[in-house]
């Protein structure tokens, strides 16, 4: 794959661009301090995220109608609160916690890398998060997207092929002109099946330092440790 | 209407943010010089634009299936070429002229005004142009959109009410939280019917200096001469 053929970079967001786990833990801790409530916030973040794929799978498989990720997040949160001794949390607190997904902090290299990559390439999110979530994450972190693509624009969730195809189509490009950037091999595999180029970004801290793993062997077009390294590799 | 209720500004683009007519004329003149062809480029720009509303009306009224603006532009261009002595223009030249709509120059106050407005408000296009066109215009002119909304996301064209409603919905907002910004009263009227606030921006040069008119009397929530004046009025 030659960088000269690529016109757009499309990014997974949760885990690839932003540190969802650290951000959710910090939001939970801040709420806990205010309300005088203690719980295992890292455990809550992990339990919340564990319901993410199963909830999307039901929509993808059409066993439930289209539902925005924001609403799936809220349902999943309510489902796990009893396990963390928080079943009496009021509506406002639930809404505030759910909104933590709108204000996730970027990984330290993200803004610098994207700023360099934007000089040469169209930059788009290609996320299972809704457009409204992407727009707010970008404003929170200063992410310079050209387009905030959310899976709702394809009315399905990754890795459904039509999500990738819809993103390329809206950008006015063939899949071969797009490079999918993600920290998750399954996402890259699905994008590759649709013709996208692939760039694996290693995010060892996504699930916390205790679960950090070294860079794996992959067969993707690029494999890098940061967005700034990706900018180096793509000559930006 | 209080600026404190507004969360997002949604912008018409052609004529409101960018000088489509001047840009098309300049692109035509540049092409003409290269090919050694002369014609009435201002007349061609006006004739091209004159077919814009009728072409969209057919889609809006469902007398033809959904068609992207980029394709309508191309059809309309081909239709008028004979009138300007250019019926022998080749495919590459036609494509290049059509792509001039992807590289329209912003009005002089646009970037400065948007940059100030973005500090406080979500900024989105709300244009009949496709997403791919909006993304390229923004990159060309340095327009700092949070979201590039194109009418294709609603599969219709303004002033169809569903286009405005879809934009607000994707931004995660009620129409009352959105302020439509446009140089065209009919666009603002349609947005207002859906609950949007309205800001009229006077663009006297849209159809050329010879057809400039003074600021009209309007009953919109705001009426300004520039985006920087709008930023002043909204306290940005």
Task: Quote the distance between the C-alpha of residue A165 and its chain's center.
Answer: 18
Q: A80 to each of A10, A57, A168, B189, how far by Cα in Å?
A: 32, 18, 36, 47
Q: What is the pLDDT of residues A190-209, one digit of tens each?
A: 999 999 999 999 999 999 99
Q: Which residues contact B20 (CB under 8 A, 6 or more apart)?
A: B14, B45, B49, B101, B104, B206
* Separation CA B20–CA B42 (nearest Å): 11
Residues from chain B contacting residue A131 (CB–CB below 8 Å):
147, 170-172
Q: Are A170 and A147 in contact (CB under 8 A)?
A: yes
Cβ contacts (< 8 Å) between B122 and chain A: which residues? 135, 139
Nearest Cα to A190, choosing from A155, A154, A163? A163
* DSSP secondary structure letters along B174-189: -GGGEEEEES-HHHHH
Residue A108's pLDDT band (cuts 50, 70, 90)? very high
Residues in chain A with CB shorter than 8 Å from the CB of B170 are 130-132, 152
- Contacts for B46 with CB less than 8 Å, ≥ 6 apart: B21, B207
Across the interface, whether the CB atoms of A139 and B153 are under 8 A apart is answered no
- Chain B residue with minimum CA distance to A166: B153
pTM of the model: 0.96
Q: State whether residue B206 sits within 8 Å of chain A by CB.
A: no
Write the DSSP symbol of residue A214.
Answer: P
Mean pLDDT score across all residues of chain B = 96
Q: What is the pLDDT of residue B2?
A: 65
**What domains can be seen in chain B, in order of their start residue?**
3-19+104-233 (3.40.50.1000), 20-102 (1.10.150.240)
- What average pLDDT does range A183-192 have in this prediction? 98
How far A122 CA sits from the closest chain B CA (Å)? 8
- pLDDT value at A2 more than 70: no
Confidence of residue A70 (pLDDT cuts 50, 70, 90): very high
* Distance from the A125 Cα atom to the nearest Cα atom in chain B, whole angstroms: 11
What pLDDT sits at residue B125?
Answer: 98
Express each pLDDT in A47-67 by its tens digit.
999 999 999 999 999 999 999
Residue pLDDT, tens place only, B35-82: 999 999 999 999 999 999 999 999 999 999 999 999 999 999 999 999
Instruction: Give the angle B75-B81-B82 at the CA atoms, nearest 5°.
Output: 125
Q: Which residues of chain B have pLDDT under 50?
A: none
- Answer whether B218's CB lies under 8 Å from B184's CB: no
Interchain contact, B171 vs A146, CB within 8 Å: no
């Amino acid at each position: 794959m030659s960088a000269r053929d690529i016109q757009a970079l499309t990014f997974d967001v949760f885990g690839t661009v932003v540190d969802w786990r650290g951000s959710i833990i910090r939001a939970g801790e801040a709420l806990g301090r205010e309300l005088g409530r203690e719980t295992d916030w890292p455990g809550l973040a992990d339990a919340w995220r564990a319901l993410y794929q199963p909830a999307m799978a039901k929509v993808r498989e059409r066993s439930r109608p289209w539902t925005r990720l924001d609403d799936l997040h809220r349902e999943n949160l309510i489902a796990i609160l009893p396990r963390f001794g928080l079943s009496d949390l009021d509506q406002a607190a639930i809404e505030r916690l759910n909104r933590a997904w709108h204000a996730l902090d970027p990984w330290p290299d993200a803004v610098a890398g994207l700023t360099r990559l934007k000089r040469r390439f169209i930059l788009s999110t290609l996320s299972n998060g809704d457009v409204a979530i992407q727009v707010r994450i970008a404003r929170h972190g200063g992410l310079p997207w050209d387009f905030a693509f959310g899976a709702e624009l394809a009315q399905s969730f990754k890795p459904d092929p039509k999500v990738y195809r819809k993103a390329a189509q809206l950008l006015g490009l063939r899949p071969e002109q797009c490079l999918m950037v993600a920290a998750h091999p399954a996402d890259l595999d699905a994008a590759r099946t649709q013709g996208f180029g692939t760039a694996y970004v290693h995010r060892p801290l996504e699930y916390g330092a205790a679960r950090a793993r070294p860079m794996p062997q992959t067969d993707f077009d690029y494999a890098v440790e940061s967005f700034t390294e990706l900018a180096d590799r793509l000559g930006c």
